[in-house]
Chain A
Amino acid sequence: MDESDNIPSGARDRPNGLSRPQRRAAGRRFVHRHSALVRVAHWINVVCLLVLLMSGLQIFNAYPALSWGEVSDFSGPAFAITAQKGKDGQFRGITVIAGRQIDTTGVLGFSAAGARAFPAWATLPSWQSLAEGRLWQFAFAWVFVFNGFVYFLHGLLGRHLWRDLIPSRRDLGRIGHTAWDHLLLRFPAGEEAIRYNVLQQISYLTVVLVLLPVMVIAGLAMSPRMDAAFPELLGIFGGRQSARTIHFITALALVIFVCIHVFMVFISGVWNNMRSMVTGRYAIETGDADA
Protein backbone atom coordinates (compact mmCIF):
# COMPACT_ATOMS: atom_id res chain seq x y z
CA MET A 1 0.00 0.00 0.00
CA ASP A 2 2.84 2.37 0.77
CA GLU A 3 3.48 4.41 -2.30
CA SER A 4 7.05 5.23 -1.30
CA ASP A 5 8.05 1.54 -1.16
CA ASN A 6 8.03 1.45 -4.91
CA ILE A 7 11.25 2.55 -6.44
CA PRO A 8 9.98 5.25 -8.67
CA SER A 9 10.64 4.88 -12.35
CA GLY A 10 10.46 7.65 -14.88
CA ALA A 11 7.52 5.96 -16.54
CA ARG A 12 4.19 7.64 -16.05
CA ASP A 13 1.01 8.20 -17.96
CA ARG A 14 2.14 11.58 -19.14
CA PRO A 15 5.53 13.17 -19.35
CA ASN A 16 6.41 15.34 -16.39
CA GLY A 17 8.23 17.68 -18.71
CA LEU A 18 10.69 18.79 -16.08
CA SER A 19 14.21 19.53 -17.13
CA ARG A 20 16.82 16.82 -16.85
CA PRO A 21 18.91 16.74 -13.70
CA GLN A 22 21.40 19.53 -13.60
CA ARG A 23 23.63 17.95 -11.07
CA ARG A 24 24.06 14.53 -9.64
CA ALA A 25 25.11 13.93 -6.08
CA ALA A 26 25.35 10.74 -4.12
CA GLY A 27 21.77 9.43 -3.88
CA ARG A 28 20.12 12.65 -4.98
CA ARG A 29 19.79 14.82 -7.99
CA PHE A 30 18.40 18.25 -8.57
CA VAL A 31 15.54 19.02 -10.86
CA HIS A 32 14.13 22.32 -11.96
CA ARG A 33 10.80 22.31 -10.17
CA HIS A 34 9.23 25.77 -10.40
CA SER A 35 9.56 28.18 -13.30
CA ALA A 36 10.91 31.66 -12.57
CA LEU A 37 7.51 33.23 -13.18
CA VAL A 38 5.77 30.89 -10.74
CA ARG A 39 8.43 31.60 -8.12
CA VAL A 40 8.24 35.37 -8.48
CA ALA A 41 4.43 35.28 -8.56
CA HIS A 42 4.43 33.11 -5.44
CA TRP A 43 6.47 35.53 -3.34
CA ILE A 44 4.62 38.59 -4.61
CA ASN A 45 1.48 36.74 -3.59
CA VAL A 46 2.84 36.10 -0.10
CA VAL A 47 3.40 39.83 0.44
CA CYS A 48 0.06 40.77 -1.16
CA LEU A 49 -2.02 38.29 0.82
CA LEU A 50 -0.38 39.34 4.08
CA VAL A 51 -0.96 43.05 3.43
CA LEU A 52 -4.48 42.43 2.11
CA LEU A 53 -5.37 40.29 5.13
CA MET A 54 -3.98 42.73 7.70
CA SER A 55 -5.43 45.83 6.04
CA GLY A 56 -8.69 43.91 5.58
CA LEU A 57 -8.86 43.24 9.32
CA GLN A 58 -8.20 46.95 9.84
CA ILE A 59 -11.17 47.78 7.60
CA PHE A 60 -13.30 45.16 9.36
CA ASN A 61 -12.45 46.81 12.69
CA ALA A 62 -14.19 50.00 11.57
CA TYR A 63 -17.47 48.09 11.71
CA PRO A 64 -16.78 44.73 13.35
CA ALA A 65 -19.99 42.92 12.47
CA LEU A 66 -21.30 40.88 9.56
CA SER A 67 -24.82 40.63 8.23
CA TRP A 68 -26.57 38.93 5.37
CA GLY A 69 -28.55 40.58 2.58
CA GLU A 70 -28.87 44.29 1.82
CA VAL A 71 -29.14 45.70 5.30
CA SER A 72 -26.84 45.72 8.29
CA ASP A 73 -28.68 44.32 11.25
CA PHE A 74 -27.31 46.53 13.99
CA SER A 75 -29.56 44.98 16.62
CA GLY A 76 -28.38 41.41 16.18
CA PRO A 77 -25.80 40.75 13.50
CA ALA A 78 -24.96 37.13 12.64
CA PHE A 79 -21.35 37.77 13.62
CA ALA A 80 -19.86 40.54 15.71
CA ILE A 81 -16.77 41.24 17.73
CA THR A 82 -17.57 43.56 20.60
CA ALA A 83 -16.19 44.89 23.85
CA GLN A 84 -18.53 44.79 26.82
CA LYS A 85 -18.08 46.17 30.29
CA GLY A 86 -18.49 43.45 32.87
CA LYS A 87 -19.90 43.79 36.36
CA ASP A 88 -16.38 44.23 37.73
CA GLY A 89 -15.99 47.32 35.54
CA GLN A 90 -13.45 45.59 33.31
CA PHE A 91 -13.93 45.31 29.60
CA ARG A 92 -14.26 41.86 28.07
CA GLY A 93 -13.88 40.97 24.43
CA ILE A 94 -17.03 39.19 23.32
CA THR A 95 -17.35 37.48 19.95
CA VAL A 96 -20.91 36.77 18.90
CA ILE A 97 -21.53 33.97 16.40
CA ALA A 98 -25.17 33.25 15.57
CA GLY A 99 -26.36 34.44 18.97
CA ARG A 100 -23.71 32.52 20.90
CA GLN A 101 -21.36 34.67 22.98
CA ILE A 102 -17.74 33.64 23.31
CA ASP A 103 -15.28 35.38 25.60
CA THR A 104 -12.27 36.26 23.46
CA THR A 105 -10.63 38.83 25.74
CA GLY A 106 -7.00 39.43 24.86
CA VAL A 107 -7.36 38.64 21.18
CA LEU A 108 -10.75 39.63 19.78
CA GLY A 109 -12.85 42.53 21.04
CA PHE A 110 -10.54 43.66 23.80
CA SER A 111 -6.77 43.32 23.68
CA ALA A 112 -3.61 45.15 24.71
CA ALA A 113 -4.49 48.15 22.53
CA GLY A 114 -7.93 48.46 24.18
CA ALA A 115 -11.37 47.91 22.72
CA ARG A 116 -10.95 46.84 19.11
CA ALA A 117 -12.15 43.81 17.16
CA PHE A 118 -8.85 42.46 15.82
CA PRO A 119 -5.76 43.18 17.93
CA ALA A 120 -3.04 45.66 16.93
CA TRP A 121 -0.61 42.94 15.82
CA ALA A 122 -3.11 41.62 13.26
CA THR A 123 -3.96 44.88 11.51
CA LEU A 124 -2.20 47.22 9.12
CA PRO A 125 -1.50 49.85 10.25
CA SER A 126 -1.40 48.60 13.83
CA TRP A 127 -3.29 51.67 15.12
CA GLN A 128 -6.94 52.23 14.34
CA SER A 129 -7.22 53.93 10.94
CA LEU A 130 -9.83 52.98 8.41
CA ALA A 131 -8.44 55.49 5.89
CA GLU A 132 -4.91 54.08 5.98
CA GLY A 133 -6.19 50.51 5.99
CA ARG A 134 -8.09 51.28 2.80
CA LEU A 135 -5.01 52.82 1.19
CA TRP A 136 -3.01 49.65 1.83
CA GLN A 137 -5.85 47.41 0.78
CA PHE A 138 -6.56 49.07 -2.58
CA ALA A 139 -2.90 49.58 -3.50
CA PHE A 140 -2.04 45.93 -2.88
CA ALA A 141 -5.28 44.74 -4.45
CA TRP A 142 -3.90 46.12 -7.72
CA VAL A 143 -0.56 44.35 -7.27
CA PHE A 144 -2.39 41.18 -6.31
CA VAL A 145 -4.80 41.26 -9.27
CA PHE A 146 -2.03 42.09 -11.75
CA ASN A 147 0.18 39.35 -10.34
CA GLY A 148 -2.67 36.84 -10.41
CA PHE A 149 -3.53 37.82 -13.97
CA VAL A 150 0.04 37.26 -15.20
CA TYR A 151 0.23 33.95 -13.30
CA PHE A 152 -3.08 32.77 -14.71
CA LEU A 153 -2.21 33.78 -18.27
CA HIS A 154 1.12 32.01 -17.94
CA GLY A 155 -0.61 28.89 -16.64
CA LEU A 156 -3.21 29.02 -19.38
CA LEU A 157 -0.89 29.67 -22.32
CA GLY A 158 2.06 27.74 -20.97
CA ARG A 159 1.85 24.29 -19.52
CA HIS A 160 1.65 25.01 -15.81
CA LEU A 161 -2.14 24.79 -15.52
CA TRP A 162 -2.63 21.80 -17.83
CA ARG A 163 0.45 19.82 -16.92
CA ASP A 164 0.89 20.55 -13.21
CA LEU A 165 -2.48 21.61 -11.83
CA ILE A 166 -5.25 19.69 -13.63
CA PRO A 167 -5.38 16.25 -12.00
CA SER A 168 -5.27 13.26 -14.32
CA ARG A 169 -7.91 10.55 -14.23
CA ARG A 170 -5.33 8.27 -12.65
CA ASP A 171 -4.57 10.83 -9.94
CA LEU A 172 -8.26 11.29 -9.19
CA GLY A 173 -8.74 7.55 -8.94
CA ARG A 174 -6.06 7.40 -6.28
CA ILE A 175 -7.34 10.33 -4.26
CA GLY A 176 -8.38 8.18 -1.26
CA HIS A 177 -4.98 6.56 -1.17
CA THR A 178 -3.19 9.92 -1.41
CA ALA A 179 -5.39 11.41 1.32
CA TRP A 180 -4.64 8.46 3.62
CA ASP A 181 -0.90 8.83 3.01
CA HIS A 182 -1.20 12.53 3.82
CA LEU A 183 -3.04 11.86 7.06
CA LEU A 184 -0.22 9.55 8.08
CA LEU A 185 2.20 12.30 7.01
CA ARG A 186 3.75 9.96 4.44
CA PHE A 187 4.92 11.89 1.45
CA PRO A 188 6.06 10.62 -1.93
CA ALA A 189 9.79 10.53 -2.50
CA GLY A 190 11.83 10.27 -5.65
CA GLU A 191 10.30 11.11 -9.01
CA GLU A 192 6.80 11.15 -7.55
CA ALA A 193 7.77 14.08 -5.33
CA ILE A 194 8.50 16.32 -8.32
CA ARG A 195 4.88 16.61 -9.30
CA TYR A 196 2.08 18.13 -7.32
CA ASN A 197 0.03 15.31 -5.84
CA VAL A 198 -3.71 15.21 -6.39
CA LEU A 199 -4.54 16.90 -3.08
CA GLN A 200 -2.18 19.74 -3.91
CA GLN A 201 -3.70 20.01 -7.37
CA ILE A 202 -7.24 20.20 -6.03
CA SER A 203 -6.42 22.67 -3.28
CA TYR A 204 -4.34 24.93 -5.54
CA LEU A 205 -7.03 24.87 -8.23
CA THR A 206 -9.68 25.69 -5.62
CA VAL A 207 -7.65 28.67 -4.45
CA VAL A 208 -6.77 29.94 -7.93
CA LEU A 209 -10.10 29.31 -9.67
CA VAL A 210 -12.62 29.63 -6.84
CA LEU A 211 -11.46 31.42 -3.70
CA LEU A 212 -9.42 34.21 -5.29
CA PRO A 213 -12.00 35.11 -7.97
CA VAL A 214 -14.80 35.06 -5.36
CA MET A 215 -12.63 37.28 -3.17
CA VAL A 216 -12.13 39.83 -5.96
CA ILE A 217 -15.77 39.84 -7.11
CA ALA A 218 -17.09 40.14 -3.54
CA GLY A 219 -14.60 42.97 -3.01
CA LEU A 220 -15.85 44.78 -6.10
CA ALA A 221 -19.45 44.29 -4.94
CA MET A 222 -18.63 46.42 -1.90
CA SER A 223 -17.71 49.39 -4.10
CA PRO A 224 -20.66 51.77 -4.57
CA ARG A 225 -19.40 52.88 -7.97
CA MET A 226 -19.02 49.29 -9.19
CA ASP A 227 -22.49 48.44 -7.87
CA ALA A 228 -23.90 51.40 -9.75
CA ALA A 229 -22.21 50.39 -13.00
CA PHE A 230 -22.80 46.66 -12.60
CA PRO A 231 -25.91 46.07 -10.44
CA GLU A 232 -25.59 42.34 -11.10
CA LEU A 233 -22.65 42.39 -8.67
CA LEU A 234 -25.20 42.85 -5.89
CA GLY A 235 -27.46 40.27 -7.51
CA ILE A 236 -24.77 37.60 -7.31
CA PHE A 237 -24.41 37.94 -3.57
CA GLY A 238 -27.87 39.23 -2.68
CA GLY A 239 -26.69 42.51 -1.22
CA ARG A 240 -23.61 44.38 -0.14
CA GLN A 241 -23.71 42.95 3.38
CA SER A 242 -23.71 39.41 1.98
CA ALA A 243 -20.79 40.33 -0.26
CA ARG A 244 -18.92 41.62 2.78
CA THR A 245 -19.64 38.44 4.71
CA ILE A 246 -18.51 36.25 1.80
CA HIS A 247 -15.38 38.37 1.41
CA PHE A 248 -14.65 37.75 5.08
CA ILE A 249 -15.37 34.00 4.95
CA THR A 250 -13.22 33.64 1.83
CA ALA A 251 -10.39 35.44 3.61
CA LEU A 252 -10.77 32.98 6.47
CA ALA A 253 -10.66 30.07 4.01
CA LEU A 254 -7.45 31.48 2.52
CA VAL A 255 -5.91 31.81 5.98
CA ILE A 256 -6.75 28.15 6.66
CA PHE A 257 -5.27 27.21 3.27
CA VAL A 258 -2.06 29.11 4.05
CA CYS A 259 -1.77 27.46 7.48
CA ILE A 260 -2.10 23.97 6.01
CA HIS A 261 0.20 24.90 3.10
CA VAL A 262 2.93 26.20 5.41
CA PHE A 263 2.52 23.20 7.74
CA MET A 264 2.97 20.86 4.75
CA VAL A 265 6.01 22.80 3.57
CA PHE A 266 7.57 22.34 6.99
CA ILE A 267 6.92 18.64 7.45
CA SER A 268 7.71 17.52 3.90
CA GLY A 269 11.25 18.85 3.83
CA VAL A 270 11.34 22.54 4.60
CA TRP A 271 14.75 23.37 3.09
CA ASN A 272 14.17 21.45 -0.10
CA ASN A 273 10.76 23.08 -0.52
CA MET A 274 12.03 26.56 0.26
CA ARG A 275 15.00 26.18 -2.09
CA SER A 276 12.76 25.01 -4.90
CA MET A 277 10.47 28.02 -4.46
CA VAL A 278 13.43 30.44 -4.27
CA THR A 279 15.94 29.07 -6.77
CA GLY A 280 13.75 26.53 -8.55
CA ARG A 281 16.08 23.64 -7.68
CA TYR A 282 14.47 20.67 -5.95
CA ALA A 283 16.40 17.65 -4.74
CA ILE A 284 14.96 14.21 -5.24
CA GLU A 285 16.27 10.96 -3.87
CA THR A 286 17.54 8.67 -6.56
CA GLY A 287 18.55 5.81 -4.27
CA ASP A 288 16.21 4.00 -1.92
CA ALA A 289 13.19 6.12 -1.35
CA ASP A 290 12.74 7.14 2.24
CA ALA A 291 9.26 7.59 3.60
Chain B
Amino acid sequence: MLETQSVDRRKFLAGAAGAAALLGGCDRLAQSETTKNVLASAETLTSDVQHLISPEQVLAPEYTEADLSRYFKPNGTADPDNDDYQEMAAKGFADWTLEVGVWSSGRRNLRSRSCAPCRRGRRLPATTASRAGVALESGRALYLARCFSAWVCRRVHAF
Protein backbone atom coordinates (compact mmCIF):
# COMPACT_ATOMS: atom_id res chain seq x y z
CA MET B 1 0.00 0.00 0.00
CA LEU B 2 2.74 2.36 1.06
CA GLU B 3 4.90 1.41 -1.92
CA THR B 4 2.26 1.95 -4.59
CA GLN B 5 1.58 5.21 -2.84
CA SER B 6 5.12 6.48 -3.25
CA VAL B 7 5.26 5.30 -6.88
CA ASP B 8 2.03 7.19 -7.49
CA ARG B 9 3.50 10.19 -5.75
CA ARG B 10 6.60 10.05 -7.97
CA LYS B 11 4.46 9.75 -11.09
CA PHE B 12 2.38 12.67 -9.97
CA LEU B 13 5.42 14.75 -9.22
CA ALA B 14 6.87 13.98 -12.65
CA GLY B 15 3.56 14.86 -14.26
CA ALA B 16 3.32 18.00 -12.20
CA ALA B 17 6.84 19.02 -13.24
CA GLY B 18 5.89 18.62 -16.91
CA ALA B 19 2.70 20.51 -16.42
CA ALA B 20 4.58 23.21 -14.51
CA ALA B 21 6.94 23.72 -17.47
CA LEU B 22 3.95 24.01 -19.75
CA LEU B 23 2.23 26.40 -17.41
CA GLY B 24 5.34 28.51 -16.92
CA GLY B 25 4.24 30.76 -19.75
CA CYS B 26 0.77 30.98 -18.25
CA ASP B 27 2.20 32.02 -14.90
CA ARG B 28 4.45 34.66 -16.44
CA LEU B 29 1.39 36.09 -18.15
CA ALA B 30 -0.61 35.97 -14.92
CA GLN B 31 2.18 37.73 -13.01
CA SER B 32 2.63 40.59 -15.44
CA GLU B 33 1.43 43.97 -14.21
CA THR B 34 -0.07 44.78 -17.61
CA THR B 35 -2.24 41.67 -17.44
CA LYS B 36 -3.39 42.56 -13.96
CA ASN B 37 -4.25 46.11 -15.00
CA VAL B 38 -6.24 44.95 -18.01
CA LEU B 39 -8.10 42.39 -15.88
CA ALA B 40 -8.73 44.96 -13.17
CA SER B 41 -10.26 47.36 -15.69
CA ALA B 42 -13.00 44.78 -16.18
CA GLU B 43 -13.78 45.19 -12.49
CA THR B 44 -14.72 48.80 -13.16
CA LEU B 45 -16.99 47.66 -15.95
CA THR B 46 -18.60 45.06 -13.69
CA SER B 47 -19.14 47.54 -10.90
CA ASP B 48 -20.49 50.25 -13.23
CA VAL B 49 -22.91 47.91 -14.95
CA GLN B 50 -24.08 46.49 -11.64
CA HIS B 51 -24.84 50.00 -10.40
CA LEU B 52 -26.50 50.87 -13.68
CA ILE B 53 -28.94 47.96 -13.60
CA SER B 54 -29.71 47.92 -9.88
CA PRO B 55 -31.41 50.64 -7.83
CA GLU B 56 -29.11 52.93 -5.84
CA GLN B 57 -30.54 52.07 -2.43
CA VAL B 58 -30.96 48.35 -2.96
CA LEU B 59 -30.44 46.28 0.17
CA ALA B 60 -29.36 42.70 0.60
CA PRO B 61 -32.09 40.18 1.34
CA GLU B 62 -32.89 39.95 5.05
CA TYR B 63 -32.80 36.73 6.97
CA THR B 64 -34.36 35.69 10.24
CA GLU B 65 -32.64 34.34 13.34
CA ALA B 66 -33.64 30.88 12.17
CA ASP B 67 -31.51 31.32 9.07
CA LEU B 68 -28.34 31.73 11.13
CA SER B 69 -25.92 28.96 10.38
CA ARG B 70 -25.21 26.69 13.30
CA TYR B 71 -21.61 26.60 12.20
CA PHE B 72 -19.39 29.59 12.06
CA LYS B 73 -16.53 29.10 9.67
CA PRO B 74 -13.65 31.40 10.46
CA ASN B 75 -10.94 32.17 7.97
CA GLY B 76 -7.83 31.03 9.75
CA THR B 77 -8.68 30.32 13.38
CA ALA B 78 -11.63 30.64 15.72
CA ASP B 79 -9.29 30.98 18.68
CA PRO B 80 -6.69 33.63 17.87
CA ASP B 81 -3.48 33.61 19.82
CA ASN B 82 -3.84 37.21 20.95
CA ASP B 83 -3.66 38.41 24.55
CA ASP B 84 -6.58 40.84 24.25
CA TYR B 85 -8.76 38.23 22.64
CA GLN B 86 -7.82 35.50 25.10
CA GLU B 87 -8.52 37.82 28.04
CA MET B 88 -11.96 38.74 26.68
CA ALA B 89 -12.74 35.14 25.80
CA ALA B 90 -11.92 34.09 29.38
CA LYS B 91 -14.59 36.50 30.62
CA GLY B 92 -17.08 35.31 28.05
CA PHE B 93 -16.90 38.69 26.28
CA ALA B 94 -18.78 40.28 29.18
CA ASP B 95 -17.00 43.65 28.87
CA TRP B 96 -16.77 43.49 25.13
CA THR B 97 -17.74 46.67 23.34
CA LEU B 98 -17.60 47.73 19.75
CA GLU B 99 -17.17 51.32 18.78
CA VAL B 100 -19.21 51.99 15.71
CA GLY B 101 -18.62 54.94 13.47
CA VAL B 102 -18.98 55.92 9.89
CA TRP B 103 -16.14 57.06 7.76
CA SER B 104 -17.54 59.37 5.15
CA SER B 105 -15.72 59.00 1.87
CA GLY B 106 -17.91 61.45 0.05
CA ARG B 107 -19.71 58.71 -1.76
CA ARG B 108 -23.36 59.37 -2.24
CA ASN B 109 -24.63 56.37 -0.33
CA LEU B 110 -22.55 57.25 2.73
CA ARG B 111 -23.58 60.87 3.20
CA SER B 112 -22.92 61.94 6.74
CA ARG B 113 -26.36 63.46 7.19
CA SER B 114 -27.84 59.98 7.05
CA CYS B 115 -26.28 58.90 10.29
CA ALA B 116 -25.40 61.61 12.74
CA PRO B 117 -25.51 59.36 15.85
CA CYS B 118 -23.07 56.99 14.29
CA ARG B 119 -20.58 59.67 13.39
CA ARG B 120 -20.23 60.56 17.05
CA GLY B 121 -19.40 56.99 17.84
CA ARG B 122 -21.64 55.04 20.08
CA ARG B 123 -20.89 52.27 22.48
CA LEU B 124 -23.10 49.28 22.15
CA PRO B 125 -24.19 46.90 24.88
CA ALA B 126 -22.07 43.81 25.03
CA THR B 127 -24.94 41.45 24.33
CA THR B 128 -25.60 43.04 20.95
CA ALA B 129 -21.97 43.44 20.12
CA SER B 130 -20.84 39.96 21.08
CA ARG B 131 -22.84 38.50 18.21
CA ALA B 132 -20.31 39.92 15.83
CA GLY B 133 -17.43 39.52 18.25
CA VAL B 134 -16.25 36.02 17.51
CA ALA B 135 -14.81 36.85 14.13
CA LEU B 136 -13.24 40.17 14.95
CA GLU B 137 -9.73 38.87 15.22
CA SER B 138 -9.89 36.98 11.96
CA GLY B 139 -9.13 38.27 8.51
CA ARG B 140 -12.75 39.18 7.95
CA ALA B 141 -12.87 41.56 10.87
CA LEU B 142 -12.92 44.73 8.84
CA TYR B 143 -15.56 43.44 6.46
CA LEU B 144 -17.75 42.19 9.26
CA ALA B 145 -17.28 45.39 11.21
CA ARG B 146 -18.41 47.34 8.16
CA CYS B 147 -21.47 45.17 7.64
CA PHE B 148 -22.20 45.34 11.30
CA SER B 149 -21.81 49.09 11.51
CA ALA B 150 -24.12 49.48 8.51
CA TRP B 151 -26.65 47.34 10.31
CA VAL B 152 -26.24 49.30 13.55
CA CYS B 153 -26.48 52.53 11.57
CA ARG B 154 -29.87 51.51 10.32
CA ARG B 155 -31.00 50.46 13.81
CA VAL B 156 -29.68 53.56 15.53
CA HIS B 157 -31.08 55.78 12.88
CA ALA B 158 -34.48 54.20 13.29
CA PHE B 159 -34.69 55.37 16.93
Contact = CB atoms under 8 A, between A and B. Distances in A.
A102 to B, nearest CB: 14
Contacts of B42: 135, 138-139, 142
A106 to B, nearest CB: 4
Interface in B12-48: 12-13, 16-17, 19-20, 22-23, 26-27, 30-31, 36, 38-43, 45-46
B112 to A, nearest CB: 23
Nearest to A75: B71
Contacts of A226: 50, 54
Given A132-B30, A138-B46, A228-B54, A106 B12 contact: yes
A124 B13 contact: no
A222 B73 CA distance: 18
Top 3 closest pairs, chain A to chain B, by CB: A229-B54, A112-B16, A139-B42
Interface of B: 2, 5, 8-9, 11-13, 16-17, 19-20, 22-23, 26-27, 30-31, 36, 38-43, 45-46, 50, 53-55, 58-61, 63, 67, 69-71, 73
B12 A121 contact: no
Q: Is the interface of A mostly helix, strand, loop or mixed?
A: loop
Contact of A135 (B13, B39, B73): B39
Contacts of B8: 105-106
Nearest to B70: A75
B69 A72 contact: yes
Nearest to B1: A88
B60 A138 contact: no
Given A135-B43, A138-B43, A234-B61, A70 B20 contact: no
A225 B58 contact: yes
Contacts of B73: 72, 74
A225 B109 CA distance: 14
A120 interface: yes
Given A71-B67, A106-B8, A142-B42, 6 more contacts: A88-B2, A105-B5, A127-B27, A136-B39, A138-B46, A231-B61
B71 A139 contact: no
A125 B55 contact: no
15 contacts: A71-B69, A72-B71, A107-B12, A124-B26, A125-B31, A126-B30, A132-B30, A135-B42, A138-B42, A138-B43, A139-B43, A227-B61, A228-B59, A229-B50, A229-B53
Interface residues of A, number: 36
B55 to A, nearest CB: 7
A227 B16 contact: no
A234 B63 CA distance: 13
A75 B70 CA distance: 9
Contacts of A107: 12
Nearest to B13: A112
A206 interface: no
A124 B30 contact: yes
Contact of B50 (A75, A105, A111, A225): A225
Contacts of B69: 71-72, 74
Contact of B55 (A71, A112, A229): A229
Which of A70, A105, A135: most chain B CB closer than 10 A? A135
Interface in A108-140: 111-113, 119-121, 124-127, 132, 135-136, 138-139
A261 to B, nearest CB: 22
Nearest to B18: A121
Count chain B CB atoms within 10 A of each CB in A75, A106, A227 and give the residue with the most: A106
A172 B53 CA distance: 41
B130 to A, nearest CB: 21
Given A135-B39, A142-B46, A229 B9 contact: no
